[in-house]
Amino acid sequence: MVVSEDVINESSALVELEKKLDVCFENKQLLNVAVTHSSYANGKKNIKFNERLEFLGDSVLQISISEYLFLNYSKKTEGELTKRRSLIVCENSLYEIAKKWDLGKYIRMSKGEEITGGRERVSILADCVEAIIAAIYIDCGFEKAREFVLSNFKDTIDKAIKNKIILDYKTKLQEVMQKNGDVNIQYDLIKYEGPPHRRKFYTQVSVNDKTLGNGTGYSKKESEQSAAKTALKELEKNNG
Amino acid sequence: MVVSEDVINESSALVELEKKLDVCFENKQLLNVAVTHSSYANGKKNIKFNERLEFLGDSVLQISISEYLFLNYSKKTEGELTKRRSLIVCENSLYEIAKKWDLGKYIRMSKGEEITGGRERVSILADCVEAIIAAIYIDCGFEKAREFVLSNFKDTIDKAIKNKIILDYKTKLQEVMQKNGDVNIQYDLIKYEGPPHRRKFYTQVSVNDKTLGNGTGYSKKESEQSAAKTALKELEKNNG
C-alpha cells in the first residue's frame, strides 16, 4: 500500500517538533507536509512535499518582518528598511533558526539525500522553516503566524537593527585584524574526512602564525568561513 | 507656515479617489501620504511621502497573490506558482491598475516631476498603487487589504493563469507573424513632439509593407512596444 507510507507518526517525532515550535496544529498533516522534502516523494504516489508551502511561507515571513520594521522604525527610509529586511529574511537566518530546533532530524527525505548530508544542508533546512511558517498560517491564521515569526526572528531582527549581522566572516576578520597594522591571515586545511559526495573539511585560521580558531564545513570555503567566525568570537571574548 | 502645505484637501481629490478605490479611510492622512511622491517633499519639512508605504505594500500584495494561487491551484508546482506570481506582481500590472483609477491626477509631486511627465510615469504610478495597498492594510487590516488586492487584480490573475500576459509585444508579434512564413516587420518613427525632457514618440509598425498599428511612448522603445501591442490587438480582432 503506497498510501500507508504517508501515515503520520503522531506518537513521536511530530509531537516532539510541535512542542519545540510551541504550536499545536489542528491539522497535523500540514506540519507533516512541511517537514517532507521533495526527495522523499520521488517515485511514490500521493505524497505531498513542502515546496508549495515554502512558496507561501516566504510571503508570510516577508510581510511579518516588513510590518515590524515599518511600525518600529518610523525614521528609517525605505532603502534602510529594505537593507535590514534582506539581512533578516535570508537563507542564513532561516538556517540558524532550523538549527535551534534541531530541525534536520525531523525532515522526511530520501535515503540518497540523507547520506549526502541532506539533514545538515542549509537550503533544505531554510526551506523547511518557510514551509512550517506557511503551515502555521494556514492552520492558525495570519495573527498567529506573524507572532510565531516575530518571536523566532527576534534575535535576528535585533542584530540586523544593530548592524551586527555579518555575512562574510573572512572579510570581517581581515578588517578587525588590520586595525592593528599589517597582518598575515592564513587559512590551512588541516584535514578532511568522509566520501567525496559528503566530504567534511577542517580548517585552521592563524594570524601572524598564531592560531585563532578552527572551523568545519562541507566545502573548503564553508570551513574557512566557519574558522573566521570562531576567531571573531574568540577575539570578542578576549576584548570583553 | 510649512506645515500648512500638508493639510488634507478632504473636500475634493481624496474623497473622489476614495470613491474610485471603494475604500473609506478612517485615517485620511494615510491615503494622503500614499499619493505623495518623494519629489513633493523635497526641500519641505514635515511632509511624509509614499516610499515607506510602498515597502510595506509590496509584501501585502505578495502574500495576497501567493495565498490565492496556493489555495486555488493545488495541482501547480512551486515553480509554476512562482512564475505566475511574477507575472501578476510586476510594475506593468500595477501600472494598468493605476490607469483604471486615473491615479496620476491624484498624486502630489513637484512641479519639476510633473512637467517631465511624472503623472504618466510607469514607476511612479506602480509605486503609488503599492503604497495605497499598504495604507488600506494599516487602516483597515489584513482581511480588507487582501480583498482589495484580489478584487483589483482579478483580471490580471485570470490572464496569468491563462498564460495571456505578454511582456514583450515586439517578440510576440514576430512569433505570431512568422507562423505564416517569412515576414518583414518594420518599426518607423513617424514623429516626435515636446521638449527634450518630455519628448513623446509616435511609431508605426508595418508587416510586409502593410501598416498594422500605431503606438506612442516617452521613449522610442516604449512607442515601438505600444505599436506592436496595437497590432496584436488588431490581429486578434480580425481573427475572431
Q: What is the pLDDT of residues B79-113, one digit of tens each?
A: 999 989 998 999 889 999 999 999 999 999 999 99
Q: Is residue A228 located within the same domain as residue A135?
A: no
Burial of A150 (0-12, 13-18, 19+ CB in 10 A): middle
Are the CB atoms for A37 and A128 separated by under 8 Å? yes
Q: Comparing B24-33, B136-145, B160-169, which segment has the lowest mean pLDDT?
A: B160-169
* Contact check, Cβ <8 Å, B52/A81: yes
CB pair distance less than 8 Å for A66 and B81: no
B93 Cα to chain A: minimum distance (Å): 19
Residue A153 and residue A177 share a domain: no
**What is d(CA A237, CA A217) in angstroms, rounded to the nearest whole number?**
23
**DSSP class per residue in A120-184:** G-HHHHHHHHHHHHHHHHHHH-HHHHHHHHHHHSHHHHHHHHTT---S-HHHHHHHHHHTTS---
Band (A3; pLDDT cuts 50, 70, 90): very low
Whether B2 is covered by a domain: the verdict is: no
> Of B128, B161, B194, which residue sits at a domain end?
B161
Binding-site residues of B for Mg(2+): 54, 127, 130
Per-residue pLDDT band for A5 (boundaries 50, 70, 90) equals very low
User: Is residue B3 a part of any domain in this protein?
Assistant: no
Cell of B25: 479611510
C-alpha cell at B106: 491624484
Q: Give residue B49's domain range.
A: 8-161
B6 catalytically annotated: no
- Domains identified in chain A, total number: 2
Question: What average pLDDT score do residues B59-66 get?
Answer: 98
- Residue A54 annotated as lining a ligand binding site: yes
Contact (Cβ atoms closer than 8 angstroms) between residue A67 and residue B59 = yes
Q: Are both B209 and B122 inside the same structural domain?
A: no
Same domain, B143 and B229: no
Q: Taking residues A116-145, what's their average pLDDT? A: 95
Give contacts of B63 with chain A, Cβ < 8 Å.
59-60, 62-63
Which pLDDT score is estimated for B183?
84
What pLDDT was estimated at residue A2?
A: 36
Cα–Cα distance, B105 to B118 (Å, whole number): 10
CA separation for the pair B20, B128 (Å, rounded) = 15
- In a shared domain, residues B90 and B139: yes
Task: Specify if B108 maps to a domain.
Answer: yes
* Closest to A130 measured CA to CA, from A91, A168, A88: A91
Provide the 8-state DSSP code for A108: B
CATH number of residue A89's parent domain: 1.10.1520.10
Query: Domain check: are B102 and B217 in the same one?
Result: no
CATH of the domain at A201: 3.30.160.20
pLDDT of residue A129: 98
Contact between chains at B58 and A66 (C-beta distance less than 8 A): yes
| Among A37, A59, A60, the residue to mutate for chain B (most B Cβ within 10 A) | A59
Query: Rounded to whole angstroms, how far apart are CA atoms A122 and A125?
Result: 5
What is the predicted pLDDT for the residue at A103? 97
- Specify whether A65 is located in the same domain as A176: no
Are A191 and A128 found together in one domain? no
Tell if the CB–CB gap between A55 and B66 is shorter than 8 Å: yes
B176 and B145 within one domain: no
Give chain B's length: 240
Residues B39 and B93 in one domain: yes
Work out the minimum CA distance from B55 to partner chain A, whole angstroms: 6
For residue B136, which residues of chain A lie inside 8 Å, CB to CB? Answer: none
Distance CA B21, CA B132 (A): 9
At B122, list the grid cell: 510607469
Which band of pLDDT confidence, cut at 50, 70 and 90, is reported for residue A9?
A: low
What is the tens place of the pLDDT at every residue in A162-217?
A: 877 777 788 888 888 888 777 889 999 999 988 887 788 999 999 888 999 999 98
Instruction: Name beta bridge partners: B203.
Output: B189, B215
Judge if B128 and B144 occupy the same domain.
yes
**Separation of alpha carbons A58 and A91, rounded Å:** 11
**Does the active-site annotation cover B67?**
no
Q: Between A and B, how many CB-CB pairs are < 8 A?
A: 52
Residues B57, B150 within the same domain: yes
Copy the grid coordinates of residue B209: 509593407
Spatial contact of A145 and A60, defined as CB atoms under 8 Å apart: yes
C-alpha cell at A63: 510581510
Percent of chain A with pLDDT over 70: 94
Question: In angstroms, what separates the C-alpha of A54 from chain B's closest C-alpha?
Answer: 8
pLDDT tier at B8, thresholds 50, 70, 90: low
Cell of B108: 502630489
- Enumerate the active-site residues of A: 58, 130
Residue among A115, A120, A113 nearest A98 (CA): A120
Cross-chain Cβ contact B60/A63 below 8 Å: yes
Last-in-domain residue among A133, A161, A189: A161
Answer with the one of B144, B161, B178 that is the final residue of a domain: B161
